[in-house]
Structure 1
């Protein structure tokens, strides 16, 4: 070496030494600066995984999950060895050798990293060990900067000193993202294969191991080709590192992609009830979806299943009665044209089109491949081909209007054509044509004594429509409101034996005379209140309202928890029409007052709210009925004690009855955590008892006779149908369960001339109560003191309040057509009859 070269070499050595020292000093300075800002590795021993909100039935059955991340943690011992080997092989082959930073990988990737820095692209994921990735996923997020990379290195070194390799692997496998909201390998296995990680074969495990590098692009739903290529790369790395044999590699790489999206389907799902619960908590708990809360509810899983099945079955039955509306969608006509020319290729296209149709828990979407007079061939989402015969489509009379259907089909191809996308249902071993109903419905069931909500169905299918008709659909109650008019009459001195005239009534309106009528357009003459209720006679109910006064009626309705601000101030109040709107939940609560003997309970559904540590944050037990008080002297009705005395119709027309006063809510206070107080009566318990007895007659000999199929003596209730059957109801109960069913369209439409409360919602109620009352013995409320049971005309016995017991022959409240020789009941004193022509039908105030 020449002398001239030595200074040059010395210069290189000096420069290198300076650069090395500078680098060491820079790293030391960075360490000193960043280390205090880096989380402690000890915290990784208690990592709180982002766990969704889980809502459970009272028996512990899972009803729903809410959260952006689906996480199902596994212990390291439960993770298959093949999956651990696959993860280590593809992500960090020297995982068991390094201490958090893989210097060999860093040197190999240094040129690429330097290029990224020079171009301003930051650092990619190169050279990241499993420990560094764990630090990133738990602490630093997805930003790509040099500072973040250096922090990862520092924290990785700390983690390796604090945790064992097995602990690091367990945490990593449980927190990394796998796409489609799945975090952790177990959630990924259930998302893409519909089974547990321990049930997967080598090909499936390798595919999952390849996803975390790019969870959005590499998952088998978004990028099936990339997922397959990545799987084969994982298998190659496993073979190169001796984790699998040559034969295993050859066999596994030949396997096709079998992953598909498995949305979680809970066997006890109750989406409407769960959403009702969620809405009560979300404002109070901002971390509700991530902190691992568990809500234990009052929902009974067995009854919830029955409610869901009854509502769906009833709505589908209505839909079939009104005919087949045709295919839900059509394949592209270019695909239809190729069905016979290139069947294999077009079948796959047809299957893909079917997969795009909204899923349904029971109705399978299918595309018609071929159809003739005898049968049709269809393909469903999973690729299976099925056949429908004439027997399977014979119900499908064409829909003409809400009141008319066409002729029954004689050939299959009259109903189905190639290219149609339809719904089918599996019944036993065969498939049958179906369709999604347009009609909606709701069912609410609660315990009358406590207010516990036992079951709730807010519509046909939550995945199609999230609007909860059970709690949000405020609709006209129709004749279902009549019992409350009659209860107000009893509170104002009338009796079940009081007679009113069922005859034509003409009331002046704002523009023209108003002529209310009965649903059957018939008149029955003098009619007792009991008979008028079980026969649902409109004209008698209107006369009752005119008699007792609308102000008294509205005041009394507050005792049942009704939102009276929507109530009409005219004769529509008597028949649940006009501006009156009530939700099914409110109706169930109101009828529970009759079921429990006069007490207004508060519907509730949250029993316990547990945080991730198992601490109970809410223990909500509102006041309940204490039946041991039934033997005491009957309480005075608090809503009637201060009310204006009953007035004649002429006086009432001038608005003498006040509509303000103490509502039922004034009598209910929140119970302390851990216990519940006893409720005071909201209405006179004697009146509740009489109304319960009258409502039993609706079942025994009135509009709800179909409920006799349940073969019980303790059932009571009332049908309800509004004008043009836009809303149909059945509100019924036993002393143990109060259940309301509503059926109608979300937007007001008539259901049809042959649809009534007795034909549409009542069968749903029966189907549900058949399950709900199975094994529940009949029970009858104790008769309160202060009631008298006397014989009335016709040899029947009737209940009277002690202070309203007739002393002489009764006097009808109508002057014309009364037959006071037959009736042995009525008001204690004659009620004067006024000319009703001065009362406006459009405004009683």
Structure 2
């Protein structure tokens, strides 16, 4: 007898030693893993769920909202001693160990406590091959740790939200919605017992596909509840008499549990997840609630405009679009399109944030005329020279599309008609250093030093440009564009985000640029008349980039590689890029007429947004003085009413004294470092002809002067 007891004692010690040996290598279990809902839910600005990242379809329910009857049903069928043990049942554990050693399945089926089942579902594989002594020991150890840290009610909450319920559904709250189209709190005893019995074999006990087996399992649960004295025999019998198919939802469309807006919001979501990762959040296991700035109606309209609007005039399905709309008052990105006709691609290439295509003349307010007003105090009627120009230190000449010159004209006229030579002469007068500083305040930094030629085209994204132009709209404050407003983690910790505005330019500069850019759309000679919206106060700029010399002969005259339209109201700023991904491939060019597509997209979206927005005009700051010049209301900054000498009037092409750069700055290869995305098959050219703008075809033979041109550039203050 003593020998038997001694042997048993040795076996017990060995078992305990083996248990603790295995326990040491057990993985950690976190609340996030126990809490079940590890998918990341994304909400739009109105608080509606627009996406779930993660394979599990699950709606989490807190313990206080779980019916007591369901809790009793689960405990009765899964673990009658749940409220008495501390995570493990020694009798079950020993039985499972013996069964495993003898090769019998006895004890492994139903041998785990409910807490152990929760641990297994949270951190271990449920495959039969993983039912080993080591795994059972680790489950038991972790179950003890879970019981020490959490209350029984919390553990039951975790379990009810964790279990698989068939048909891609996880958690009993989601199952109530899927099978009965209601919440758990609305289910009766028969229905709750049906759900409580399903986790053991979710497929076999599916009440829709296998009602007979499901009925048997439900009745087993009801019997267990009566045996556990949580319901009476009469209540059990009454519930058993209910046809299990009563109130079942038998038809489920795929759209009932999938995101029907997937294509519409794809590019926006891609940036949301990128933004989350930059902030240090795990989008796959974090169980996050992510609240965004997305205006879903605006997003849908923009998507439909570029994909389904036949009036836009797309030549084919390969012409691409990248567009970003921001709230001009705070930097919130409200809509974003990264491509059109892209098929069923998830998180595809986002052209809205690409920085490998030149922005063309949309750069002129940002790099040329903005800095001239800010630092040199140019008035809107500043005389600028549109005469023959050769880049310093080279034999490369700069032209406009019409290959003509207009002589001395006003800065307003040069901007409205998008003349290249006056823009570059203005940049020379400002100097690259000051222009770079100005751009930096608008959120644009570059890998390489900027060159003169960047004054008529630099490598920035529609997102960057929309945010920069928003500063013109709101009086000179730059807000870094952002998509996420708040993140709530699975443990309830909430963190809000917003863009802190920084002064980028004086209100005077913002107003004067805006006043000039109104004419881009309203002036008869403006480069963006196709974007004009009658009665709406708005301003903006167009941009195109021409083919370099080596490709020019292979495309029709006046064809371009890229076409832009960036503009704004007092409420929103929108930047639109159009072009082909492979712009040097045969047939992948934009005709002169097709350059208007970007303007038409802009017009459609801004018209839509104006329906529910105020229509406000801009008012001049106190230090901006109006003056009539040749029938046009012009403006200057108080104390600077006169005009400077004509910017590099043609007598010289050397850099001004404000710029200490060498002539080597002619070559342009600077690219923005933020939001950079590119395709290796897409290349860019920086030859002098590649940035020749083609937006306008005004007349002129180079003999005009400011006086003779004044009447043709009349812009009325709105």
Q: Shorter-chain-normalised TM-score: which range?
A: 0.5 to 0.7
Q: Does 1:783 align with 2:636?
A: no
- RMSD, matched Cα: 5.5
Show the counterpart of 1:373.
none
Figure out how many residues of one structure are paired with residues of the other and give that number: 615
Show the counterpart of 1:384.
none
Is residue 39–residue 53 contact of structure 2 (8 Å, CA) maintained in 1? yes
Distance 1:561 1:94, change over 3 A: closer
Q: Distance in 2 between matches of 1:259 and 1:130?
A: 34
- Cα deviation digits, residues 577-632 of structure 1 (max 9, x gap): xxx3101121112212322333333334444444445444455552x3xxxxxxxx
Q: Distance in 1 between matches of 2:15 and 2:94?
A: 20
Q: Does 1:583 align with 2:461?
A: yes
SS of residue paired to 1:759: helix
Q: Distance in 2 between matches of 1:48 and 1:789?
A: 64
Task: Tell which structure's C-alpha radius of gyration is larger.
Answer: 1
Within the candidate set 597, 610, 613, 1:759 is matched to 597
Is residue 32–residue 286 contact of structure 2 (8 Å, CA) maintained in 1? no
Show the counterpart of 2:259.
265
Is residue 704–residue 762 contact of structure 1 (8 Å, CA) maintained in 2? no
- Cα deviation digits, residues 253-311 of structure 1 (max 9, x gap): x99896868553277985544443443343553656444444444x1x5x342134213
Is residue 83–residue 206 contact of structure 1 (8 Å, CA) maintained in 2? yes
Q: Does 1:533 align with 2:411?
A: no
List alignment gaps of at least 5 residues for structure 1. Answer: 1-13, 221-225, 324-401, 403-436, 625-678, 826-845
Shift of 1:694: 0.2
> What does residue range 632-671 of structure 1 map to in structure 2 within 5 Å?
none
SS of residue paired to 2:302: helix
Q: Distance in 2 between matches of 1:694 and 1:733?
A: 13
Is residue 459–residue 468 contact of structure 1 (8 Å, CA) maintained in 2? yes
Shift of 1:717: 0.8
Show the counterpart of 2:381.
497
Show the counterpart of 1:238.
218
Is residue 721–residue 756 contact of structure 1 (8 Å, CA) maintained in 2? no
> What does residue range 184-333 of structure 1 map to in structure 2 within 5 Å?
184-187=171-174, 212-213=199-200, 218=203, 232-239=212-219, 245=240, 248=243, 263-265=257-259, 270-282=265-277, 285=280, 289-297=284-292, 299=293, 301=294, 303-317=295-309, 321-322=313-314
Is residue 51–residue 70 contact of structure 1 (8 Å, CA) maintained in 2? no
Q: Distance in 1 between matches of 2:426 and 2:438?
A: 14
Show the counterpart of 2:649.
813
Q: Does 1:599 align with 2:477?
A: yes
Show the counterpart of 1:711.
535
Is residue 489–residue 548 contact of structure 1 (8 Å, CA) maintained in 2? yes
SS of residue paired to 1:441: strand
Q: Does 1:687 align with 2:513?
A: no
Is residue 596–residue 781 contact of structure 1 (8 Å, CA) maintained in 2? no
- Cα deviation digits, residues 383-402 of structure 1 (max 9, x gap): xxxxxxxxxxxxxxxxxxx5
Show the counterpart of 1:628.
none
Show the counterpart of 2:370.
487
Q: Distance in 1 between matches of 2:150 and 2:376?
A: 78
Distance 1:108 1:739, change over 3 A: same
Show the counterpart of 2:690.
none
Which structure would you say has the larger RCO, counting Cα contacts within 8 Å and 6 or more residues apart? Answer: 2
SS of residue paired to 1:602: coil
Shift of 1:730: 1.7
SS of residue paired to 1:726: strand
Distance 1:230 1:583, change over 3 A: same
List alignment gaps of at least 5 residues for structure 2. Answer: 224-235, 547-558, 652-701, 712-718
Within the candidate set 120, 136, 146, 1:136 is matched to 120
- Cα deviation digits, residues 42-62 of structure 1 (max 9, x gap): x99996445444444454333
Shift of 1:75: 5.1
Show the counterpart of 1:744.
579
Show the counterpart of 2:161.
174
Within the candidate set 561, 565, 588, 1:730 is matched to 565
Shift of 1:782: 3.5
Q: Distance in 1 between matches of 2:311 and 2:608?
A: 23
Is residue 272–residue 457 contact of structure 1 (8 Å, CA) maintained in 2? yes
Distance 1:727 1:213, change over 3 A: farther
Distance 1:488 1:61, change over 3 A: same
Q: Distance in 2 between matches of 1:543 and 1:807?
A: 15
Is residue 497–residue 530 contact of structure 1 (8 Å, CA) maintained in 2? yes
Shift of 1:557: 3.8
Shift of 1:494: 5.0
Show the counterpart of 2:635.
799
Shift of 1:24: 6.9
Is residue 123–residue 144 contact of structure 1 (8 Å, CA) maintained in 2? no
> What does residue range 695-706 of structure 1 map to in structure 2 within 5 Å?
695-701=517-523, 702-706=526-530
Shift of 1:480: 1.2
Q: Distance in 2 between matches of 1:200 and 1:463?
A: 40
SS of residue paired to 1:717: strand
**TM-score, structure 1 normalization:** 0.58
Shift of 1:245: 5.0
Q: Distance in 2 between matches of 1:275 and 1:219?
A: 38
Q: Distance in 2 between matches of 1:27 and 1:596?
A: 77
Shift of 1:693: 0.7
Within the candidate set 60, 71, 74, 2:47 is matched to 60
Q: Distance in 2 between matches of 1:451 and 1:775?
A: 17
- Cα deviation digits, residues 500-522 of structure 1 (max 9, x gap): 56577677997x8656332x667
Distance 1:22 1:313, change over 3 A: farther
Q: Distance in 1 between matches of 2:529 and 2:190?
A: 61
Distance 1:112 1:248, change over 3 A: farther
Is residue 497–residue 824 contact of structure 1 (8 Å, CA) maintained in 2? no
Within the candidate set 315, 321, 334, 1:441 is matched to 321
Distance 1:219 1:471, change over 3 A: farther
- Cα deviation digits, residues 75-115 of structure 1 (max 9, x gap): 578668998899789x7497899978899999999997565
Within the candidate set 400, 416, 421, 1:517 is matched to 400
> What does residue range 406-421 of structure 1 map to in structure 2 within 5 Å?
none
Shift of 1:691: 1.1
SS of residue paired to 2:627: strand
Q: Distance in 2 between matches of 1:125 and 1:551?
A: 75
Shift of 1:725: 4.1
Query: Which stretch of the first structure deviates more once superposed, 163-172 or 62-71?
Result: 163-172
Is residue 501–residue 818 contact of structure 1 (8 Å, CA) maintained in 2? no
Shift of 1:735: 2.8
Shift of 1:133: 1.9
> What does residue range 458-473 of structure 1 map to in structure 2 within 5 Å?
458-460=338-340, 463-473=345-355
Is residue 311–residue 443 contact of structure 1 (8 Å, CA) maintained in 2? no
- Cα deviation digits, residues 438-491 of structure 1 (max 9, x gap): 444333233444434344343447844433333344421112112232334444
Shift of 1:545: 4.8
Distance 1:122 1:689, change over 3 A: farther
Is residue 735–residue 780 contact of structure 1 (8 Å, CA) maintained in 2? yes
Distance 1:609 1:258, change over 3 A: closer
Distance 1:797 1:315, change over 3 A: same
Q: Distance in 1 between matches of 2:150 and 2:494?
A: 32
